[in-house]
Amino acid sequence: MSLGNYKESTPSTYAVLAEQLRRSIHEGDYRPGQLFGSEHELARRQGISRVTVRRASELLVDEGLLERRPGKGLYIRAPHAQTKLVHVITANLHWYPPRKMVQGIQEIATGMNIQLGLYDACSDMENMARDMALLRQLPSGRGGGAIVTALPGSSFNQVLCELAMKRFPLVLVAQRLHEIEASSVISDNHNGGYQAGQALLELGHRRIGFIGDLASSSSVRDRLAGLRDAIADAVLPYDRSLEIDLQVEKDPIGDWSKCAAEGAHALTNRPTPPTAILCSCDGVAISACRVLRQKGLRVPEDVSVIGYGNDPLTESVVPALTSVSEPYEQMGRLAMEVLSRRMDDCYSAVEHHVLPVELVQRDSVAPPPADSRCDR
């Protein structure tokens, strides 16, 4: 097949050449793995400079149509070996859960020859605006899809809805938005809250408090719902005054230690304080334990505390923290598999996956103080 006689009369000569080469590949003029030629040979055949051929071939290498074999030339890349780009947008890689999810995503992406573009969302309002602008631009970029780990806040949710409406291949991890059709991979947050509540009830606790970011996270609301259901199934009254909403909407992915400490102070200052506290994450639980010690309360002798997430820190704090373990790496691996299917067919059925959790018992939980057991 002749590619024509190109003259270097305009700066776009390499782009014209790249388009002609691209068309010949797509039309099946070459087989996967076949030698396409050397840049020197192509330049001589077309009567153009080697620099022009190099620029054209680089475009096709970036697109995954060609591969460069040193000392041999350019070869047609097999379809299964074509590199795809996937964006991973995650909330604050200083946190343990996003780091483990990304590890799972990377494990599967490597086996699929998928290139990852990792973006770490920041915490202040100015950067949140930049983060949302980045999300909106995804369909116009060269990425084939995106995995978004839980970005709390209604502003982020609105942008995700826009992406789903454009049928941009998208998978949400650790978050499911019921108002849009987007694939998701989450853990069983309701069951996690239920397991924690059931364990505390079996020890004799009747006044169980909750501290968490209820307004910004559906996952946290599900954990609280599980706790409530455990108490209801035990045919016991539930005291809503023992709920503390951290209200982190203004800084949803920043440092929660201050508001977590304020929440723990507010909860323990109730006229009838709780004998046990379930927290929305391990960081909040550790802050709560610190406040309890400052107030002269012992954990677990005076107040039992349960975290969520099973961060490695839970084993090193004193006392070691009981926590609900989530399968973060498995969530990441499954999300990458789901996205791959979605990228192959953006009209395929939306998938929703819920993975099991497990309560890990440690030293921060014990029966309530004897003087509180009259409430049983």
Domain locations along the chain: 13-80, 83-187+328-357, 189-326+359-375
Side by side, which strands form the sheet with 322-325?
A: 243-245, 208-212, 276-279, 304-309, 322-325, 358-360
Contact 276, 270 (CB under 8 A): no
Interior angle at CA 220, CA 219 and CA 222, nearest 5: 65
Asked if the domains at 83-187+328-357 and 189-326+359-375 fall in one CATH topology, the answer is yes
Average pLDDT value over all residues in the chain: 85
- Tell me the C-alpha distance between 79 and 96, whole Å: 36
Q: How many Å apart are CA 22 and CA 18, to the nearest integer?
A: 6
pLDDT at 111: 78
pLDDT confidence bin for 371, thresholds 50/70/90: confident
Given 2.30.40.10, 3.40.50.1100, 3.40.50.2300, 3.20.20.140, which CATH number is that of 83-187+328-357? 3.40.50.2300
- Dist. CA 145–CA 223, nearest whole Å: 30
Query: At residue 254, does pLDDT exceed 80?
Result: no
Residue pair 359/197 in contact (Cβ under 8 Å)? The answer is no
Query: What would the pLDDT profile of 138-178 be if each residue is shown by its tens digit?
Result: 887 777 899 998 775 666 777 888 888 888 899 999 988 77
Banded pLDDT at 319 (limits 50, 70, 90): very high
Q: What is the pLDDT of residue 154?
A: 64
Helix (H), strand (E) at residue 185 = strand 183-187
Number of Cβ within 10 Å of residue 271's Cβ equals 5
- Report the range out of 29-43, 245-259, 355-369 with the highest average pLDDT: 355-369
The CA distance from 208 to 372, in Å, is 12
Which class does domain 13-80 fall in? mainly alpha
CATH class of 189-326+359-375: alpha beta
Question: What does the pLDDT read at residue 23?
Answer: 84
Collapse the DSSP code of 358 into the 3-class scheme (helix H, G, I; strand E, B; otherwise coil) and give the result.
strand
Q: What is the pLDDT of residue 55?
A: 86
SS3 content of the chain, % helix, strand, coil (to 5): 45, 20, 35
Of 267 and 68, the one with more pLDDT? 267
Strands 73-76 vs 66-69: parallel, antiparallel or unpaired: antiparallel
Instruction: Look at 92-96, 140-144, 199-203, 319-323 and tell me which has the smallest mean pLDDT.
Output: 140-144
Note the pTM of the prediction, 2 decimals. 0.75
pLDDT > 50? residue 52: yes
Q: Report whether pLDDT(8) > 50.
A: no
> DSSP string spanning 62-95?
HTTSEEEETTTEEEEPPGGG--EEEEEEEE-TTS
Distance CA 57, CA 18 (A): 7
